[in-house]
Structure 1
Amino acid sequence: MGKLQFFVVLCYFIPVLVILFPVGLTFSYFFKITKLDLWSNRINNFLGYFWYRSFFLLTGRTLDVSLEGWNPDGHNRFLICNHTNSLEVPLIVSLPYLANSKDVRLSYLGGDIIQRYKIIPLMMHKTIVEAVIYSEKRPNFRNFKNDVLRVLKTRSIFLYPEGERTFTEDIKPFQTGVMKIAYKFHINLDVFVVSGFMGYSSLEKYKHLTKSKKIYFHFCGSILAKDYPTFEDYLSRAEFLMKEKKQFLEAIEKTNT
């Protein structure tokens, strides 16, 4: 088992080994089916925050978070972020507590992994967070589009526009499928970026990240679909905001090492 794989296993064992998670999710599910969605949502958000804090404590990492300018209220938005590896999940699902807004209602977009795992990854339980699932094996674009639009009536949806884990600190080109839905139906984007997660790997080129033991999570800005005359403009602006902030964070990392 490689170094990065070890940390991934450690991270995803936390919700299994700590009794708080199965108990909390049981109560969350009960509140969800009894229409007490507010309390279900609050439990989910707290568990996500506890998960992130537990993992960072165990691995000796600190978080540099900057959400200045982000308004977490409301719904009908896509929240997008770069996707280095699976260790980002507990950080992403802790976003409401990081923003000091425990009632933020988030859903998640993912593939068949959501069907295979009910507690892991924690907050992606389809029933509780109304996760939107696409099937890599049997894609049905019409149903997928309808699910996205239905969930956006009450929640914002978090997704990774790169479409896959990159296992690199570089930001890859965005996949266009879901983003085209966003532009066509005038869905606004909140853009975030993470940096430093490859410091959990044993690759020599990320040795400086291993030494710094710091993870960055910053808000890049919002994009209003109505402000862009073409889909290409809309997509390129989202990529630019994310890459610009990533370059800024990498400059900080190099300065500190």
Structure 2
Amino acid sequence: MGKLQFFVVLCYAIPVLVILFPIGLTFSYLFKITKLDRWSNRINNFLGYFWYRSFFILTGRKLDFSQGSWDPNGNNRFLICNHTNALEVPLIVSLPYLTKSKDVRLSYLGGDIIQRYKIIPLMMHKTIVEAVIYSEKKPNFRNFKTDVLRVLKTRSIFLYPEGERTFTEEIQPFQTGVMKIAYKFNIDIDVFVVSGFMGYSSLPKYQHLTKSKTIYFHYCGSILAKDYPTFEEYLAKAETLMKEKKQILETKEKTFILQN
């Protein structure tokens, strides 16, 4: 087992082995089906925060979180972030608690990997947050679009626009499918970026990240479809926001190592 794979297994063992998760998600599910959605959502948000905190404590990492001018209140938005490997997930789902906004309703979009989860706590969480599933093997764009617009009536949806884990700190080109939905239906997009997660790997080029033991999670800015005359300009702006912030963070990481 490689170093990065070990940390991924450790990370995803937490919601399976820690009794707080099955108990909490069971209560959350009961609140959900009895229409007490606010309390169900608060439990989910707390569990997300507990997951991130537990993993960072176990691995000796610290978080540099910058909310900037981001306003977490409101629905009908996409939240997007780069996707290096599976270790960003607990950080993303802890976003409501990180912003001290415990009632933020956050769903997420995922592909076939969600379908493959056989672990009851994770399956239950998928149901509770009304995750939107898109199958790459059997795509049905019409149903997918309908599900996205339905969920956006009550929640914001988090997604990775690169469409896959990249296993690199470099931001890859965005997939256009979901972004086209955002542009067509004037859905606001809030852009975030993470940096430093490849420090969990054993690759020599990321050893400086291993030494810094700092993970960065920063807000980059928001974009409105109505402000851009073409989809291409809209997509390019989202990519630019993420890449510019990532470059700033990488400079910060290198400066930290030189100073220490």
- Is the TM-score greater than 0.5? yes
Structure 1 counterpart SS, 2:154: coil
Within 2, Cα distance between the matches of 1:238 and 1:138?
28
Change (3 A) 1:88 1:79: same
Deviation at 1:136, TM superposition (A): 1.5
Paired amino acid for 2:29? Y
Paired amino acid for 1:113? I
Paired amino acid for 2:112? D
Provide the residue aligned with 1:212 in structure 2.
212
Deviation at 1:127, TM superposition (A): 1.5
Provide the residue aligned with 1:143 in structure 2.
143
Within 2, Cα distance between the matches of 1:221 and 1:96?
17
Q: When the two structures are superposed, what TM-score results if normalisation uses the length of structure 2?
A: 0.97
Identity %: 86
Q: State whether residues 25 and 124 of structure 2, in contact with CA within 8 Å, keep that contact through their aligned partners in structure 1.
A: no
Deviation at 1:229, TM superposition (A): 0.8
Change (3 A) 1:120 1:198: farther
Within 1, Cα distance between the matches of 2:172 and 2:89?
18
Provide the residue aligned with 1:37 in structure 2.
37
- Kindly provide the CA deviation profile for residues 158-212 of structure 1, in whole angstroms up to 9, marking residues without a partner as x: 0000000000000000000110011000011000000000000000000000000
Deviation at 1:82, TM superposition (A): 0.2
- Paired residues in the alignment total 257
2:168 is equivalent to residue 168 of structure 1:
yes
Provide the residue aligned with 2:182 in structure 1.
182
Paired amino acid for 1:161? P
Alignment map for 1:1-257 (pairs within 5 Å)? 1-117=1-117, 122=122, 125-257=125-257
Aligned CA RMSD, in angstroms, stands at 1.3
Change (3 A) 1:120 1:249: farther
Paired amino acid for 2:218? H
Structure 2 counterpart SS, 1:154: coil
Deviation at 1:125, TM superposition (A): 2.9
Within 1, Cα distance between the matches of 2:156 and 2:211?
35
Deviation at 1:112, TM superposition (A): 1.7
Within 2, Cα distance between the matches of 1:235 and 1:201?
30
Q: State whether residues 93 and 123 of structure 1, in contact with CA within 8 Å, keep that contact through their aligned partners in structure 2.
A: no
Within 2, Cα distance between the matches of 1:44 and 1:56?
19
Gaps of at least 5 residues in structure 2 are none
Within 1, Cα distance between the matches of 2:106 and 2:48?
11
Q: When the two structures are superposed, what TM-score results if normalisation uses the length of structure 1?
A: 0.98
Paired amino acid for 1:128? I
Within 2, Cα distance between the matches of 1:62 and 1:121?
26
Q: State whether residues 48 and 123 of structure 1, in contact with CA within 8 Å, keep that contact through their aligned partners in structure 2.
A: no
Paired amino acid for 2:159? L
| Mean CA deviation greater in 161-170 or 109-118 | 109-118
Deviation at 1:115, TM superposition (A): 2.0
Paired amino acid for 1:48? G
Within 1, Cα distance between the matches of 2:174 and 2:141?
18
Change (3 A) 1:120 1:166: farther
Q: State whether residues 29 and 124 of structure 2, in contact with CA within 8 Å, keep that contact through their aligned partners in structure 1.
A: no
Within 1, Cα distance between the matches of 2:147 and 2:140?
11
Question: Which consecutive segments of 4 or more residues in structure 1 shift more than 2 A?
Answer: 118-126
Q: State whether residues 220 and 245 of structure 2, in contact with CA within 8 Å, keep that contact through their aligned partners in structure 1.
A: yes
Structure 1 counterpart SS, 2:65: strand
Change (3 A) 1:229 1:124: farther
